[in-house]
Structure 1
């Protein structure tokens, strides 16, 4: 064994060889691991004194999958299929001892072993479709031989992760070991029979079950091409022998690996890892949060309370009076009852979660809360009253959070005598479902308070993204520019339906104007009226949305907005056309036509431009954080990787040219960001700019 390769080492216990993978942090199948495994396999296969082999990853680990960063590079020898084939061909029985995760290539390696045992907390799965690819090292051919084609379609198509006991029931694992895993593997290895999975027949097929699994996987896959490809592959190769199926798997794997969609999904996967790295928090310990309070039991406050209860924490919801508190409790009980009735929760779990929430009108009920989240009306006077009261009631060291979408958290913090304990926690509705959480760091927010906000977000199963303070933070600030330029396009000649159709063809589930109708046009209207006195006169203002609201067209809730909903679905409305025509005439605009591509490029460009300004100002730590905000909170298609990844793919010179055209249409506030201009002129991408910065933020 090459002693220079420390990623894989061999030790002996009598006639049993133990092959240990030790490549922090998760034993990914990077090149050193593949090299070390292949070398170990070849060395032990030729050693007649070895009667059994144990493959393991040390305590708490096995193999978490491929090295995602290597997927942007050309394939490098040895490739994993060759390692897996050599492992399966060993003359000695091989026991995979799985502790922790055996995902993707990790499970493919395990299925090349003769026996697979695991700790009770171990997890297995072929999750490659999450990254826009399919298992490329025999996983699509070995798994069906263990579980059948229908179950393989379900597992691979839906990227399911199974705990060890369930995997044993399905036949993926052979046993769960309650005691010492490695000792049991060493005991079993010499006497284990060779059981080569690739030689097993595929169990009898159930066409109806396969079709049901295929439809469910494709629906859950939300347009990810790899899902449909792998479903087709599994059904196609079920009638083939193993070598032919393996060849077909590789033929389909390689184009997917090189696809734009896979690159986008890899980008987002790595972006989530990077988002957890916040400068200045190294070694900072979060404060303990065991009791939470929410002020305001409306739609947002109730959703936050449910998110907290779902995470296993008790939460008090403070309402204005006893009647409001009782009504809040009734709404929450009804919400959980509906989840139980639909089968999403058992009756017992629904009852447990309901019991964790205590609606109250007495502010003394939050005196022991470790974290208090204000989720009241968006009005600074309301926030002032709440935070002054909190300053008097909350215990020392309690974290005070505001859920404001647009107001200044620093101004809110100044209402207290402890601004260091204040931060923003901007949830997205419905708060118990939406993954995104903007964690807003104020000028005086203490490092451990920021760390607490991030840890709390993770506890709730959210994706917490750090934002600095500005109007709208990261997401709403960029979204406001996106919406404003969409309205410019309408006033300049496009119809609302043309804009929405262009966005939907790009990959958005709903167009911008349909989303506005669903949310209610009166919310943004009220905000525009509040800001009218301070609006820059040099900024172009489109009043079409105001005219709609003045006509009582507030969206779906009134039956009409940008569209008419008399039929139950969004239909273009001649009345809206008339309003648009009148506004064009008043502005002296001669309408012109736009292609879908022009609409898409214009809106992508203005989003990227505002994002560049946010980066320059230090509001966002990095471009990839902005991509996460938009793919997790604003419906930006994941297969495009987010607005800045997509801008890089389009080319920043083309983006700059589009922004310059948009600036002519938009006036003040639409000018190209200096950072965007610099990147375009130096032929540098946002990704390269992020990689090249020594210290993000």
Structure 2
């Protein structure tokens, strides 16, 4: 007797063929599911007793997309476009009943059905762009025919998930069900379709959504212009081409265009980087502590400080549905902090992404306070006060006195030793680093910094908070700058050396943008404000060892700060920002300061090609990343990759610095570092891990699998 589980089952109920996809955990479209769907449609088509077909998912999803276990393997028949075409070609009405995720190929299956009903929990999306692909099973042709060019482009270029109500407004589905019983709701809708005459309504034949050709051409042209501005990515422009084909070509021809462009995306070198990013973003969620312990409950949170960072953290917490108490030193500072929070929501109202009532409802969960006793019931407190150890000690001493037992006490420090903060209070096991990136309500990265004496459930709580805030968490050990800022300090130093040796800051920024960064290091400095780094450098100047690595100190940034040129907020930094301009123009006076500093340092300037600048910049980043992994500050190379992609603008399509190093080849990276070391042996010291991997003929990826 064969008891093998079939991932697609067909039963007939009152002349309706119910096709159930049951492929846990998320009904991914593996080869067995594709075969099962194709066979079920053939069977329903051939059975005279069947009048209509219902496709439904078992468990928590309709179909969450492709089967990621098949990535990189040779394709097996039937291909998904053939399955979708078979569903659409059925001569009996086919209804897709959607609950939970219907993403990528899952939504393509639903769009090839003749009707769609969804429960309130449904999440519909075409996120292929995040993998360097485009929807390749007719999705780029069917979506515009259902929702028009603008909405289809928005879904495909952003990869975002759309809820049931929005999907109904767009025309992506026909009905939002009133209950969560997806099969019952689906059967009821099939009976409704049959009672209305049982028309077969093929998406390929829909013309209404694309009727106004001029309007849709404007949307396509706007998307093309927008994509051109976002340098580097391959698949978005191909998505726009496919939507153009949906407007211009008959369905079969449009589908052939889609297939050609899909195969181009598949062959693109960006695919490897994006696939690496996709898996790495899932892998970072796995830390030893999350396997060993359960998180503590989080409902009430405290945020200490209402400055830019504190206000951003507060917004992130409110957006996650938490109750927040913001603490400031006095009423005036508190009023400013709350005004900063309100400004974020007012901006969303102005963009019509929030209503005034919505803002009021959110702010009902925000309480202001000037006395630490207001944090007595908080489950978790994050301090975002001035980056000074004495100030942090004073804050934690107060928290130690007032917070309830088991409250998680977190510091948002960027550099300071969290072990020292933890060891100064009576509950070091409750202290953790939660390093947010500014603006904290927008930036995705959250470094979860693990001091020596913290308990595992506190670390697990950090990961749970990241999940609630929809952040990408990376576990980091304690050192100066943790993972991200430590590596940043090194490649920024490499940039400063290149500037003093003969490159202009504008050449270096141009190189970084050409590589795929949204901004170069000096543009970032101007955006963040040069005074922040200057304060840190002044604080460290007293302890700077003239014999320490790196022994060379570049004074150019300090010279700009001494003139009050802190960047955008002062109208000039490395660049000039006349009349509050967002984009800077090069400043001849900055180049004069650079020339003067070179002369003082006794440096004869040399010229660098863009390739030489790039090789030094990335070698410094990769080498320091290898040291961070070697010391256990990052668990694996992929943790470095995710940190640099989500916190520092490293192009996601290149996978991160460690993946990039693997693609270039570690022997090449090591050879570069050894060549640079001939000029500056103090700065360019190859990481022992890098040397070891090259000697053993291994790459960083081998450590991700360990």
The alignment's TM-score, normalised by the length of structure 1, stands at 0.93
Do the aligned residues in 1 keep the contact of 2:25 with 2:59 (CA within 8 Å)? no
Shift of 1:182: 1.3
Do the aligned residues in 1 keep the contact of 2:530 with 2:573 (CA within 8 Å)? yes
Shift of 1:320: 1.6
Q: For 1:259-274, list aligned pairs within 5 A.
A: 259-274=268-283
Relative to structure 1, the CA distance from residue 20 to residue 609 in structure 2 (aligned partners, 3 Å threshold; closer, same or farther) is: same
**Is 2:324 aligned against 1:315?**
yes
Q: Which moved more, 1:245-254 or 1:13-22?
A: 13-22
Shift of 1:169: 3.9
Taking the aligned partners of 2:69 and 2:481, their CA distance within structure 1 comes to: 33
Taking the aligned partners of 2:403 and 2:8, their CA distance within structure 1 comes to: 53
Shift of 1:62: 0.8
SS at match of 1:672: coil
**Is 2:500 aligned against 1:494?**
no
Q: Which one of 205, 211, 217 corresponds to residue 218 of structure 2?
A: 211
Paired residues, number: 692
Do the aligned residues in 2 keep the contact of 1:18 with 1:55 (CA within 8 Å)? yes
Q: For 1:141-156, list aligned pairs within 5 A.
A: 141-156=141-156
Taking the aligned partners of 2:608 and 2:576, their CA distance within structure 1 comes to: 23
Partner of 2:475: 466
Do the aligned residues in 1 keep the contact of 2:245 with 2:257 (CA within 8 Å)? no
Shift of 1:606: 1.3
Q: Deviations over 1:657-693 (max 9, x none)?
A: 22223434444353111222233344433223312x0
Taking the aligned partners of 2:220 and 2:2, their CA distance within structure 1 comes to: 46
Q: Which moved more, 1:541-550 or 1:211-220?
A: 211-220
Do the aligned residues in 1 keep the contact of 2:125 with 2:162 (CA within 8 Å)? yes
Q: Deviations over 1:328-379 (max 9, x none)?
A: 3344344433443343421112223333322221111111111111111111
Do the aligned residues in 2 keep the contact of 1:5 with 1:36 (CA within 8 Å)? no
Taking the aligned partners of 1:666 and 1:396, their CA distance within structure 2 comes to: 52
Partner of 1:102: 102
Relative to structure 1, the CA distance from residue 305 to residue 120 in structure 2 (aligned partners, 3 Å threshold; closer, same or farther) is: closer
Q: Which one of 547, 550, 554 corresponds to residue 539 of structure 1?
A: 550
**Is 2:207 aligned against 1:196?**
no
Do the aligned residues in 2 keep the contact of 1:119 with 1:177 (CA within 8 Å)? yes
Q: For 1:281-680, list aligned pairs within 5 A.
A: 281-282=290-291, 284-532=293-541, 533-535=543-545, 536-541=547-552, 542-566=554-578, 568=581, 569-680=583-694
Q: Which moved more, 1:133-142 or 1:569-578?
A: 569-578
The alignment's TM-score, normalised by the length of structure 2, stands at 0.92
SS at match of 1:133: coil
Taking the aligned partners of 2:154 and 2:379, their CA distance within structure 1 comes to: 42
Relative to structure 1, the CA distance from residue 689 to residue 36 in structure 2 (aligned partners, 3 Å threshold; closer, same or farther) is: farther
CA RMSD of aligned residues (A): 2.6
Structure 2 unaligned residues grouped into runs of 5+? none
Relative to structure 1, the CA distance from residue 97 to residue 365 in structure 2 (aligned partners, 3 Å threshold; closer, same or farther) is: same
Partner of 2:139: 139
Taking the aligned partners of 2:207 and 2:2, their CA distance within structure 1 comes to: 38
Relative to structure 1, the CA distance from residue 252 to residue 537 in structure 2 (aligned partners, 3 Å threshold; closer, same or farther) is: same
Taking the aligned partners of 1:366 and 1:386, their CA distance within structure 2 comes to: 12
Shift of 1:63: 0.6
Taking the aligned partners of 2:570 and 2:184, their CA distance within structure 1 comes to: 68
SS at match of 2:326: strand
Relative to structure 1, the CA distance from residue 665 to residue 477 in structure 2 (aligned partners, 3 Å threshold; closer, same or farther) is: farther
Relative to structure 1, the CA distance from residue 574 to residue 85 in structure 2 (aligned partners, 3 Å threshold; closer, same or farther) is: closer
Do the aligned residues in 2 keep the contact of 1:329 with 1:358 (CA within 8 Å)? no
Taking the aligned partners of 1:522 and 1:187, their CA distance within structure 2 comes to: 65
Taking the aligned partners of 1:13 and 1:682, their CA distance within structure 2 comes to: 62
Relative to structure 1, the CA distance from residue 374 to residue 49 in structure 2 (aligned partners, 3 Å threshold; closer, same or farther) is: same
Shift of 1:216: 4.9
SS at match of 1:480: helix
Do the aligned residues in 1 keep the contact of 2:377 with 2:404 (CA within 8 Å)? yes
Partner of 2:129: 129
Do the aligned residues in 2 keep the contact of 1:439 with 1:450 (CA within 8 Å)? yes
**Is 2:186 aligned against 1:185?**
yes
Shift of 1:613: 1.0
**Is 2:13 aligned against 1:17?**
no
Shift of 1:298: 1.7
Relative to structure 1, the CA distance from residue 419 to residue 538 in structure 2 (aligned partners, 3 Å threshold; closer, same or farther) is: closer
Shift of 1:489: 0.8
SS at match of 2:575: coil
Taking the aligned partners of 1:336 and 1:164, their CA distance within structure 2 comes to: 24
Shift of 1:631: 1.6
Do the aligned residues in 1 keep the contact of 2:308 with 2:340 (CA within 8 Å)? no
Taking the aligned partners of 2:89 and 2:340, their CA distance within structure 1 comes to: 61
Taking the aligned partners of 2:189 and 2:411, their CA distance within structure 1 comes to: 57
Shift of 1:120: 2.4
Shift of 1:416: 1.0
